[in-house]
Homo-oligomer: A and B are copies of this chain.
Amino acid sequence: MKRVIILLITGLFYFSLHAQQDIFQPKGIESPVVNADHTVTFRIKAPGADKVLVTGNLNSEKAFANISYEMQKGDNGVWSFTTQVLPSELYRYHFEVDSVRTIDPGNAHVIRDVANISNIFIIEDGTADLYKVQQVPHGTVSFRWYESKGNDKNRRLTVYTPAGYENNKDKYPVLYLLHGVGGDEEAWLGTGRSAQIFDNLISQGKMVPAIVVMTNGNVVQEAAPGKGSNGLERPNFMLPHTMDGKFEETFQDVMDFVESNYRTINKKEGRAIAGLSMGGYHTAYISMNYPNKFDYIGLFSAAIGVRPGPTPPSYIYKDVDQKLTQQKENGFKLYWIGIGSDDVLIYKGMQNFRKNLDEKGFKYEYLETEGGHTWNNWRNYLSVFSQKLFK
């Protein structure tokens, strides 16, 4: 048997000589490098290029704003750029090499947002410590399929169960967390860093342990692009039937699945619903159309006053004033609205919506932050909102 354990000093590295093997080819260029002072250095080898940009939310003043910087060509065709000191955040970026969009070949960490793939990195010691995987007990993340009778298909959703869920018999409250236009059941988990936010807040005792259900709000899809039987389809920004009432009409299918598959507190005080952008719009309509079901409602940059085309004929959008009045009379523990002051399209619609709520004496908490329609804000809103639930 000793002969079997052949000592090959060249070992597995030898693989890289063989084009027919699936192997790792080591990279020479380190990028990005987060420096000790929280500046960040990007590098890419592009000897033949005339102009290389790094583009991302890399603005030291306003971490939400996309900005492009020209990189400088150095020795051996390696281009580089070092940012100013960046505040603690999760950052997204890509390179543009002679106008060709590319990811950083030195950075294996990417996320998809609709059809774009970008690299990410984290600056710690602040806000983004909530977005980082820390050495704390971790919840379970599951991708499950439920039967949506209302949509005549099996559909995929993401479920976060907090650490310990599997090892006790307790019932848990549920937060339904909805994505925006172009997103899917993976959006909050990816760019939204939801599992990290929950792990960290729960371990710090700042959030009541809850089951979180991240749905797919595009009823024409079974699942996120590539995860359904449509194959490796091209992600679309605007899908049909995303804001026509169909998702809200069939939301009971989701709740039925969750409440029969998990140990849930099946009462109003055990249910929360929140969403970003289109998901905030869905949240507002679901919470008013399913009376007395939700004690906690969160609208994050909700697209409540924005829709292309006329109001769809669904019952979901009828008698809105009456439904809001009923919702107010039924009562709830928290109706929370967050929006960025630079959110150019959403902002005005939300102020009109607030005016309507105010006229009805409908109570809500309102947080206006810097920035626009960005994941920086949505991660922040989720962090703030989650701490107010089920208490």
Please list the residues of chain A having a beta carbon within 8 angstroms of any beta carbon in chain B.
1-15, 18-27, 30, 44-50, 62, 64-66, 97-103, 105-110, 112-117, 120-122, 124, 132-135, 137-138, 140-145, 154, 156, 163, 166, 181-182, 223, 225-229, 231-232, 234-235, 237-238, 261, 303-311, 317, 320-321, 324, 342-345, 348-349, 352-353, 356, 371-375
Nearest B-chain residue to A372, judged by Cβ: B20
Q: Which residues of B contact A232 (CB under 8 A)?
A: 107, 109, 120-122
Q: B10, B24, B345, B375: which contacts A14 (Cβ < 8 A)? A: B345
Partner of A308, one of B8, B181, B349: B8
Cα distance A116–B345 in the bound complex, in angstroms: 38
Are A143 and B141 within 8 A (Cβ)? yes
Copies in the complex: 2
Whether the pair A4, B352 counts as a contact (CB closer than 8 A) is yes
Contact of A349 among B6, B62, B352, B353 (CB under 8 A): B6
Given contacts A24-B237, A345-B12, contact A138 B117 (CB under 8 A): no
Residue in B7, B45, B132, B135 whose beta carbon sits within 8 Å of that of A100 in the complex: B45
Knowing A1-B356, A154-B137, A228-B133 are in contact, say whether A26-B65 is a contact too (CB < 8 A): no
Is the Cβ of B237 less than 8 Å from the Cβ of A26?
yes
Are A8 and B48 in touch, CB under 8 angstroms? no
With known contacts A25-B116, A108-B115, A303–B4 Cβ distance under 8 A: no
A8 near B345 (CB under 8 angstroms)?
yes
Query: Knowing that A6-B348, A124-B231 are A-B contacts, what are 17 other residue pairs whose CB atoms are under 8 Å apart, sorted by A's residue number?
Result: A4-B349, A6-B306, A6-B349, A7-B307, A8-B307, A9-B308, A11-B308, A13-B308, A18-B372, A18-B373, A20-B65, A20-B342, A46-B100, A108-B112, A110-B110, A138-B156, A141-B142
| Neighbouring B residues of A120 by C-beta, 8 Å | 232
| Alpha-carbon distance A232/B261, docked complex (angstroms) | 34
Nearest residue (CB) in B for A31 is: B234
Q: Give the top 7 A-B pairs by smallest Cβ distance, nearest first.
A: A11-B308, A102-B102, A48-B98, A24-B237, A24-B114, A142-B142, A21-B373
Contact of A304 among B4, B113, B143, B182 (CB under 8 A): B4
Known contacts: A4-B304, A6-B352. The answer to whether A373 contacts B15 by CB under 8 A is yes
Note all chain B residues with C-beta closer than 8 A to A20: 62, 64-66, 342, 344, 371-374
Which residues of B lie under 8 Å from residue A107 when comparing CB positions?
232, 234
Known: A116-B108, A142-B142. A229 touches B135 (CB 8 A): yes
Residue of B nearest to A6 (CB): B305
